[in-house]
Chains A and B, each alone.
Chain A
Amino acid sequence: MKNSDRKMKPSLKIGLFLMGILILLAITAPLIAKYDPYAQDLPSALQAPSAAHPFGTDQLGRDILSRVLYAARVDLSIMVLAEIAPFVIGVLLGMCAGYFGGKTDWIISLAIDTFIAFPYYLLVIVVAFATGAGIRGIFITFMLVGWLLYARVAKGMSASLRTQEWVDAARLQGFSDLRIIVKEILPNVLPQAVVVLMTDMAGLLVMIVTLGYLGIGISAPTPDWGTMIAEGQTMMTTAWWISVIPGVMVVLTGIALSFIGDGLADLWREDGF
């Protein structure tokens, strides 16, 4: 059976479709949004959904649809950008620890254990206060702790993979350790790491939104789902759309990511090694 022969699972299709739409909306926001997301229009404040404002307006008369779309650009891009370095660093360090074992493993594991002992959200809040509100805090915090998960997954897998005879066979072909890690071990670790990435991105999005909600993340007036939810919170009974619409966006993104993660896990499990 070749790779391409394998069937995509429905959950993967749904997840990719949903995520595709969300990303498309984020990219094309300037085309779709009829209003400037920052433009205040006090006379038309707190309007319920209508033809002119499909998702209504907030207390400053800003169009919710436009803000939600621009917020997708902000939140989704931070979510992806903040994951890149931790993913790459975590997988690499984890593979080195697992493959080399010994002192390398000892040092990397010590770093993992040290950072993992910190309460995650507390660290986020401390860093956010130290660096001031805004996305810089999110990036810094995530640099500190985001790689741990990948390192642990990659370390465990590499430690068991290195005892496989095909690793010895690769050494007998005269391959260097670096080449064995990158070309032999990595393809076996990557699927699992990507599944973890999907789950972790959903978690990161919730963190970004939560920080925005608490007022220590992305700060007003930049559109962000978290701050939007916070702004509408006191008007849930009279103007529900202000909070609910961005809330729905967060949930949809989370669902898409978890469907993709599950679908990929199913697909790759069939390789069964």
Chain B
Amino acid sequence: MDHMLELRDICAYYGDKQVLFDVDLVIGKHRTLGLVGESGSGRSTLARVVTGLLKKSTGTVVFDGEVQGAKRSAEFYRRVQMVFQNPDASLNPKHRIGTILTDGMVIQGVSRADAMVRCRELITRMDLPEDTLERYPRSFSGGQKQRIALARALCTDPDFVILDEPTSALDVSVQRRMLDLIKEIREERGLTILFISHDLGVIRDICDDIAVLRHGVLQETGESAAFFASPKTDYGRELLKAVPRIEYE
């Protein structure tokens, strides 16, 4: 199988505190991998290592066959994007949505006018109001902000998207819609996704593969279906037992 992302022996630190311990992980092309774990288990940190945001780390990050150095290329940032955990903090309060969405494309060499056209398509696709581009972040709900963040991530037409708890700050009804949207866009664009969540119901619904992280140590990886049928580890079984039997169908 062709790998989109391959992580080898990843260790990460905040100051002297180590939060990731020798993590090895692969994500196949066009697959969605669910990274589960309790809050504080190091999932966001792993995302920061992959994207090169966290400098204090060791190990190897291989993206689409290329070993990544300390500094990521412009091409990497076009192909890899991320939606952050907290929708209220992920948009600069001082910029209009139009600026937030187009700046990245303009940096990539797209003209402002073309970028605006592409933005408008995305806005419509995301079911956001028509005047979205002229407005400031504060006037949107959490769910809308999350969709704007998703739109920003999709602007540069990436191949690989990291979604860090994209639905956990949202109401249940809004969650449903966000998940459907993610699934649709995944099919349309053939995205590879690293989907971070603590919600096994959501993971089961959306992921092909799963990886379980606990206190910065990877517990088990495998196909999602196999995990939900019978986890390989005690911790996996424990997690599964704790899930209320609400089915996401």
Residue of A1, A166, A174 touching B92 (CB-CB under 8 A): A166
Name B82's closest neighbour in chain A (CB-CB).
Answer: A172
Chain B residues closer than 8 Å to A2, beta-carbon distance: 134-136
Q: Would you give the 0/1 interface string for A143-155, flagging 1 where the beta carbon is closer than 8 Å to chain B?
A: 0000000000000
Chain A residues closer than 8 Å to B136, beta-carbon distance: 1-3
Q: Please, how many angstroms separate the alpha-carbon atoms of A184 and B94 in the complex?
A: 8
Q: Please, how many angstroms separate the alpha-carbon atoms of A187 and B95 in the complex?
A: 9
Chain A residues closer than 8 Å to B86, beta-carbon distance: 165
- Interface flag for A100 (CB, 8 Å): no
Residue of A169, A272, A273 touching B149 (CB-CB under 8 A): A169
A: interface residue count bin = 20 to 34
Number of A-B contacts (CB under 8 A): 65
Q: Would you give the 0/1 interface string for A238-273, flagging 1 where the beta carbon is closer than 8 Å to chain B?
A: 000000000000000000000000000000000111
* Count of chain B residues with a beta carbon within 8 Å of a chain A beta carbon: 31
Task: Check if B104 sits within 8 Å of A168, measured CB to CB.
Answer: no
Chain A residues closer than 8 Å to B89, beta-carbon distance: 164-166
Q: Please, how many angstroms separate the alpha-carbon atoms of A95 and B107 in the complex?
A: 23
- Interface flag for B141 (CB, 8 Å): no
Chain A residues closer than 8 Å to B82, beta-carbon distance: 168-169, 172
Name A273's closest neighbour in chain B (CB-CB).
Answer: B93
Task: Check if B139 sits within 8 Å of A1, measured CB to CB.
Answer: yes
User: B140 → chain A, closest Cβ, in Å?
Assistant: 11
- Interface flag for B10 (CB, 8 Å): no
Chain A residues closer than 8 Å to B80, beta-carbon distance: 172
Q: Which of B58-89 contact A (CB under 8 A)?
A: 74, 77-78, 80-82, 84-86, 89
Closest 4 CB pairs of A and B: A173-B104, A187-B94, A165-B84, A174-B77
Which A residues lie at the B interface, using CB under 8 A? 1-3, 164-166, 168-175, 183-184, 187-188, 271-273
Given contact pairs A166-B90, A174-B107, A273-B93, enumerate 14 new A-B contacts (beta carbons under 8 Å): A3-B136, A165-B86, A166-B89, A166-B91, A168-B82, A169-B149, A170-B92, A171-B53, A172-B53, A172-B80, A173-B103, A174-B77, A184-B92, A187-B92
A-B contact pairs, 30 of them (CB 8 A): A1-B139, A165-B84, A165-B85, A165-B89, A165-B90, A168-B48, A168-B84, A169-B84, A169-B91, A169-B149, A172-B51, A172-B82, A173-B103, A173-B104, A173-B107, A174-B74, A174-B77, A174-B78, A174-B108, A175-B103, A183-B103, A184-B92, A184-B95, A187-B92, A187-B95, A188-B92, A188-B94, A271-B138, A272-B138, A273-B93
